[in-house]
Amino acid sequence: MPHVNFLLSLVLVFLGSASCSDANFRERFELGPARILGLIFSHPEINPGQSTSIQPIFSFENQTSETLEHRLRSCADPGLVFGVNPTCENSTDINLMVDWTAFSFTSPNVKSEILGPLGNVTATADFLISSSEAEKTNGKIILVEYSVRINGTTVLNSFGKVRVTDPTLKPVKNQNPSLTNILLNSQSLASRPTALKNDLAATFDPTSLDTGEEFLASYFISRGEVEYSRTLGEQSTEWELTQTDLEATETITVIVVGRDERGGVTALVRTGL
Amino acid sequence: MFIDSFLKTNLLCVVFCFTALFQSQIGRSQEIDPLLQITLKGRVYEKGTSKPLSGLKVFLLPIKKSTETDTNGFFSLDLDSSEVQSLKTEGSATWVANFPGYRRYELKEAWDSLNQGRERIFRLEKEIYGAVLETTVTDRNKSRDPTRKSLSQREFLQIPGSGGDPVKAAQNLPGVNRAPGFSSFVVIQGSEPEDTLYNIEGHEIPLIFHAGGFYSVGFPEAVEGVDILTAGYAANSGRALGGHLNLRFRDLDTTERFRGVGYVDLLNSGILVESKAGQNGAFLLAGRQSYIGFVLKAVLPENDAFDLTVAPSFQDLLGIYEYKFSNDLKFRLLGIYSNDIVEFLFERPLEVDPSVRGDFRTQTQFYRIIPALNYRINDSTDFTFSTALGEDEIEFRGNTNRFILDIKALTTRGEITKTWSGSQKSRAGFDNRYSGTDFDIALTGSQSGGNSNSSDIITIGGYSEQREIGIYLTHEANLSSLSIEPSVRFDTFRPSDENYVSPRGTLRYSWDSLNKSRLSGGQYYQPPLPQETSPEFGNPNLKSSKAKSFALGHEIDFREGSSFGWVLDNEVFYKWLYNLSTETTDSTRYVNNGLGNSTGWQISLKHKTSVIDVGLNYTYSVSRRWEQSATEKFPSAFDQTHNLGILGGIEISGNWRFSTRFRYVTGNPYTPIVGSFYNSETDTYLPINGARFSQRLKGFSQLDFRVDKRVLFDTWTLSFYLDLQNVLNSKNQEQINYSYDYSQSAAITGLPVIGTLGVKGEF
């Protein structure tokens, strides 16, 4: 009865992960190397025949002279539920929106931003024609794959899922949550912190969430450390800086990415602090 | 005493009577005076346990007279008048008791004491107190599987690093792979963990270890031995490609004494009592309670994101009742209960996966009631029957996920043995298993095996049944030095609707009194796991995995009937695995597409004297897997090329025992992660796997050390032990840990040097 052992070992993994960490690893909240922090779909859930546009959240605080190229494509779900890699590589119905095109940030001083809409994904009118009731309700997936290539070699891969549901069975579609502000010590974050220990929090519009959904905020900073890189709902996290951090002349970037529990993504980026 | 006082109080009367009596005896005997005859009585026990010693010779010196103790340790010695006179003249006598395995006992007793008619108590000290509650093995397990490797209670209680646990100790046996730290399974000869079945008295149980793999579910002092069956096992067992692990509980002590053991160590404590019940019965009750969780709670750093609501703990209870209707008919009832529970709260999302948050609870409990009957129908026919009725409750709740199974289990075993002649014997038996499962499962897509949206919850509930019938027939023909044991097993599996015939057999050949060879093998089937045939999570059309296994062994036993000396056993094995269940990346989920083999050589060398025991176990093995359509083979998850274990122990005066264990095992293969995909929806990274099992962890090496000190009192013993694991503090790699995006990696090492201090009282 191996599932028993699996469950027991799961508990131990949880316990282990709660009590152990490897200090040599880069922390999840650290900005610096090139990272894709999220894909924002204008509409995370659509009806057949409708479209959604895509905006990647990209950060590369350590960028100097590296050249950047990106690619955006979509395809029908290749079988994610069965463990297939989330890529359109072997698909026959690829919608190539951007094909390894060079790009840069909007300003030389900006190293983290939400890139402008790069393309649209459209569900065909007959997209759900052979789907089961459950799939029409829960959503049939269109895979969106976004990749960034650095200096023509290193590739970062990311993916998101656009959910296509039946307009009758699922008349109210999921929307992106609304992230209203980033608070530093209960004040709107407008300048870099001056204290060694600070309270960082995200505010959101609870009406932008469906019943039962929770708002999950992920924090990314270019200096210092946050105690928790994610918070739930109204929770806050401690942002700790060293004296060196406070005295440094480089600007600081803070990004908060908000998510609901059904594919909705939103973000606020504060740079030049 | 009466004669003595009489002499003192009325000497004249005595002289008169004595003279008259003496005169009346003239003509019948001139030498013996019946009035001077005395009977000396006594009882002999084992020191520290009050175990009566039967069949023991007791000598009285200098008259050189002897007697023997009965089954309850009683003895009596009649002395005639000349012997009485001799002792009286001598003024004292010396009792001497000698018994194999015990220190020589001598007691000088003055004539006055001898002549008081009292019952004397002798307590003999054992040379080695390995296991106080050990009892003699009787005839419940007559048939010995050709592949069986066993550890007795005496052996497993003393193996360093095992904490006195039978199953942890069995992981030292040749052919058993080293399981990673905190794992709770036993892997045999490069198989998968699910290829081993765990049994109590031959009946399957859902798990053998409590959570964390520190302790198995059987109270060690109640266990007679632990057996491992490996490649080529006999037809009376089945349904497992790897092998079987079986805990045998010992026969109860039917003497009149009340026995018990209680112990306390850093992680758990337990108590066992045992007594005769009525004229022909006996019972044993035992229980254990852990406090691992409280230790864990104390050492975990303060963390406001994590709250250990219910500290992890386990309990187990054991009860055995035996009743002997006659010498031919014995009844035994065994009950066992095991419970593991832990509950905790993640108040914040876990770093590695934000969907891991909220309350988590897991509880696993099971019980089995096992009545068993042994009936000797006549001199040539024996019948055994046992059934295990029980229930397994497995509950896991985590955030929105739940996994609840309530399994009613019934297994039955029966065997009739017919001895046709001194050289011909047949056995026919059955080995059935039934389980009915109520299940209630709600898993998010990502938890149910794929990368789908974590908000898509798959909920299923219902009832399923599994019925497995096994029937076997074996015949044993002993032809001088050669023994031939052909056998056949018929299995039927439902609901997979499969019927199989498995021919198996064993050849044994005795070259001389020292050298014995054996060859065993056959066909083996293992039904798919319930989750693999689930319509929601698996493939209902999946069939059994199959194997052909063979083992060729040779034993050289230099002991020649003695307990001491050298024993060398070595074995080569080969397993051809086919029709194995493999996962797919389409809607079929599982197919019988896997192939594999395991080949190896294992050797066991043991040497024992009255004070020293040493052992060496080594296994060389190669275990490969591949899929039918693929040409590339890869190692199995537990492909451990070299597995070496060296054990040694020495008893020194004062009831001290020092023992040590060294292990070296090739590192397990693992699949490297070569990249990742960022999942924007869940803010997690999905790993991109490299070539399957193409890299290995570093080799594992560990030195353990144990000290036992026993303090003997007349009727009980007190033991102290210190079990030190990994005394060299080796940084053994247990698995690879990755950074959040899999771009960095580092090995997680096993436990550092860790000690367990315990105290145990036995009577």
Angle between helices B2-9 and B11-25 (to 10 degrees): 120
**According to the model, what pLDDT value does residue B10 have?**
45
Q: At B629, is the pLDDT very low, low, confident or very high (cuts 50, 70, 90)?
A: confident
Q: Give the least confident one: A253-267, B246-260, B547-561, B667-681.
A: B246-260
Distance CA B519, CA B550 (A): 7
Rounded to a whole number, what is the distance in Å from the CA of B405 to chain A's nearest CA? 10
Window 228-267 of A, Cβ < 8 Å to B: 228-232, 235, 257, 259, 261-263, 265
**CB contacts, 8 Å: A255 with chain B:** none
The arithmetic mean of pLDDT across residues B520-542, rounded, is 90
Q: At B7, is the pLDDT very low, low, confident or very high (cuts 50, 70, 90)?
A: very low
Highest mean pLDDT range out of A46-50, A205-209, B400-404, B608-612? A46-50
Beta strands in B420-456 (DSSP E): 424-444
pLDDT at B455 over 80: no
The arithmetic mean of pLDDT across residues B750-762, rounded, is 86
Contact A216 B688 (CB under 8 A): no
How big is chain B by its Cα radius of gyration, in Å? 31
Residue with tokens 């996966």: B353
**According to the model, what pLDDT value does residue B307 have?**
65
Average pLDDT, chain B: 86
pLDDT at B303 over 70: no
The arithmetic mean of pLDDT across residues A102-119, rounded, is 92
Q: Give the least confident one: A185-199, B194-208, B442-456, B621-635.
A: B442-456
* Number of continuous H segments (helices) and E segments (strands) in chain B: 7, 44
Q: Yes or no: say if B135 and B154 are a contact pair by the CB < 8 Å rule.
A: no
Per 3-state DSSP, chain A is made up of helix, strand and coil in percentages (nearest 5) of 15, 40, 45
Instruction: Sort residue B212 into left (φ over 0), alpha (ψ -120 to 50) or beta.
Output: left
Contact A157 B392 (CB under 8 A): no
Q: At A13, is the pLDDT very low, low, confident or very high (cuts 50, 70, 90)?
A: very low
Q: How distant, in Å, are the alpha carbons of A38, A185, B469 from that of A180? A: 17, 16, 65
pLDDT tens digits for B195-246? 999 999 999 999 999 887 888 999 999 999 999 999 999 999 999 999 999 9
pLDDT at B34 over 60: no
Q: Is this prediction's ipTM beyond 0.90?
A: yes
Window 387-416 of B, Cβ < 8 Å to A: 392, 394, 396, 403, 405
pLDDT at A14 over 70: no
**According to the model, what pLDDT value does residue B312 have?**
74
Q: Yes or no: say if A253 and A27 are a contact pair by the CB < 8 Å rule.
A: no
Distance CA B42, CA B57 (A): 12
Q: Give the least confident one: A54-63, B278-287, B754-763.
A: B754-763
Substitution target in B200, B451, B457 with the highest count of A β-carbons within 10 Å is: B451
CB-CB neighbours of A249 under 10 Å: 4
Distance CA B132, CA A203 (A): 68
| Bridge partner residues of B245 (DSSP) | B198, B228
Q: At B645, is the pLDDT very low, low, confident or very high (cuts 50, 70, 90)?
A: very high
**CB contacts, 8 Å: B344 with chain A:** 14-15
Distance CA B723, CA B163 (A): 7
Residue type at position B644: L
**According to the model, what pLDDT value does residue A49 have?**
95
Structure tokens at B161: 């690093």
- HSE-CB at B746 with a 13 A cutoff on CA atoms is 13
Residue type at position B291: Y
**What's the full length of chain A, in residues?**
273
Contact A10 B362 (CB under 8 A): yes
**CB contacts, 8 Å: B737 with chain A:** 22
Window 192-221 of A, Cβ < 8 Å to B: 216, 218
Rounded to a whole number, what is the distance in Å from the CA of B362 to chain A's nearest CA? 7
**According to the model, what pLDDT value does residue B357 have?**
72
Q: Is B674 on the interface with A (CB under 8 A)?
A: no
pLDDT tens digits for A161-198? 999 999 999 898 999 999 999 999 999 998 889 999 99
Q: How distant, in Å, are the alpha carbons of B53, B74, B96 from that of B67? A: 13, 10, 11
Q: Looking at per-residue confidence, does B390 or B183 come out higher?
A: B390
Closest CA to B679 of A86, A208, A109: A86
The arithmetic mean of pLDDT across residues B397-410, rounded, is 87
The arithmetic mean of pLDDT across residues B110-116, rounded, is 83
Q: At B278, is the pLDDT very low, low, confident or very high (cuts 50, 70, 90)?
A: confident
Question: DSSP secondary-structure letter at B291?
Answer: -
SS (H, E, C) B589-601: CEEEEEEEEEEEE
Surface-to-core class of residue B560, CB atoms within 10 Å of its CB (0-12 exposed, 13-18 middle, 19+ buried): exposed
Closest CA to B3 of B122, B117, B94: B117
Q: Yes or no: say if B642 and B668 are a contact pair by the CB < 8 Å rule.
A: no
The arithmetic mean of pLDDT across residues B723-740, rounded, is 90
Give me the residue from B392, B583, B677 closest to A159, CB to CB: B677
pLDDT at B18 over 50: no
**According to the model, what pLDDT value does residue B302 have?**
62
pLDDT at B102 over 70: yes
Contact A25 B744 (CB under 8 A): yes
Q: Looking at per-residue confidence, does B524 or B13 come out higher?
A: B524
Q: At B451, is the pLDDT very low, low, confident or very high (cuts 50, 70, 90)?
A: very low
Q: At B31, is the pLDDT very low, low, confident or very high (cuts 50, 70, 90)?
A: very low
Give me the residue from B362, B737, B741 closest to A11, CB to CB: B362
**CB contacts, 8 Å: A161 with chain B:** 453, 681
Rounded to a whole number, what is the distance in Å from the CA of A110 to chain B's nearest CA? 22
Q: Looking at per-residue confidence, does B161 or B428 come out higher?
A: B428
**According to the model, what pLDDT value does residue B392 have?**
95
**According to the model, what pLDDT value does residue B138 have?**
46
Window 232-251 of B, Cβ < 8 Å to A: none
Say if pTM beats, i.e. exceeds, 0.80.
yes
Q: Looking at per-residue confidence, does A232 or B335 come out higher?
A: B335
Closest CA to B95 of B69, B126, B132: B69
Contact A86 B586 (CB under 8 A): no
Distance CA B159, CA B182 (A): 18
Window 36-95 of B, Cβ < 8 Å to A: none
Q: How distant, in Å, are the alpha carbons of A102, A124, A136, B601 from that of A121? A: 21, 10, 18, 60
pLDDT at B381 over 50: yes
The arithmetic mean of pLDDT across residues A126-131, rounded, is 92
Q: At B445, is the pLDDT very low, low, confident or very high (cuts 50, 70, 90)?
A: low
pLDDT tens digits for B307-361? 666 667 899 999 999 999 999 999 999 999 999 988 777 777 777 677 777 778 8
Question: DSSP secondary-structure letter at B530?
Answer: G
Q: Yes or no: say if B594 and B582 are a contact pair by the CB < 8 Å rule.
A: yes
Contact B683 A216 (CB under 8 A): yes
Window 9-68 of A, Cβ < 8 Å to B: 9-12, 14-15, 17-22, 24-28, 35-36, 38-39
Average pLDDT, chain A: 88
Handedness of CA B129, B131, B132, B137 (dihedral sign): negative
SS (H, E, C) B317-346: EEEEEEEECCCCEEEEEEEEEEEEEEEEEE
**According to the model, what pLDDT value does residue A243 have?**
92
Helix (H) or strand (E) run with residue B23 in it: helix B11-25
**According to the model, what pLDDT value does residue B300 have?**
65
**According to the model, what pLDDT value does residue A5 have?**
42
Q: Looking at per-residue confidence, does B8 or B203 come out higher?
A: B203
Contact A10 B675 (CB under 8 A): no
Rounded to a whole number, what is the distance in Å from the CA of B274 to chain A's nearest CA? 32
